[in-house]
Structure 1
Amino acid sequence: MGTKVSLFEESSTFVIEPWNVILINDDWHTFDEVIVQLMKATGCSPEQASEITWQVHTQGEALCYTGPRERCEHAASILEEIELRVRLERV
């Protein structure tokens, strides 16, 4: 008779805590510049970028991206390419 062998696979659960990228209003970038850079940084649609840009303009800042810290840092760096002001926050 054969030997009975039990195999147990351990699994680990990794929790990736989300971060936010907050875009802050300024007085020197045009709406079009901000919209284009938002689409480039976050992959959002022109309509979404327009909504975020309007919110930044009227409220002083807006959430423009949520994700893992590394992706947020990457999105922030793309926004900062044209000297947009951003803030990263842990959710």
Structure 2
Amino acid sequence: MTPLATPDVDETTDLSAAPLEPWEVVVWNDPVNLMSYVVRVFRTYFGYSVEHATQLMRSVHHDGHAIVATGPRETMEVHAQAMHDYGLWATVRRSAE
């Protein structure tokens, strides 16, 4: 019986993970929800302060949209679905950073 030959391989494998790309949840303005309701949703779901939730709501109202959360894609998709469940129009997009 002949011994199995070991191939002469000089190979380096990089096992480091690629950095997570940040994603954003964008809430868009709509003609249906009251501003006070949007503030309540941001406070209830995200736990934002009254001031921060109000600032985000004003961006939604005046600029047409606001970035309400940033993080890994899967988490942002969960947040966007939660915004839909509250009746808000939200999308997920790759962060411009």
Report matched runs for 1:41-80 at 5 Å.
41-80=45-84
2:8 match: none
Gaps of 5+ in 2: 1-13
- Once the two structures are TM-superposed, the CA of residue 33 in structure 1 deviates from its matched residue by 1.2
2-structure distance, mates of 1:61, 1:48: 15
Distance 1:40 1:76, change over 3 A: farther
2-structure distance, mates of 1:71, 1:45: 21
RMSD: 1.7
TM-score normalized with structure 1 length: 0.78
Gaps of 5+ in 1: 1-9
Report matched runs for 1:17-32 at 5 Å.
17-32=21-36
Please tell me whether the aligned partners of residues 37 and 78 of structure 1 are also in contact (alpha carbons under 8 angstroms).
Answer: no
Q: SS where residue 30 of structure 2 aligns?
A: coil
2-structure distance, mates of 1:15, 1:69: 12
Identity, % of aligned pairs?
A: 30
Please tell me whether the aligned partners of residues 21 and 66 of structure 1 are also in contact (alpha carbons under 8 angstroms).
Answer: yes
TM-score normalized with structure 2 length: 0.74
- Once the two structures are TM-superposed, the CA of residue 11 in structure 1 deviates from its matched residue by 6.4
When the two structures are aligned, how many residues end up with a matched partner?
82
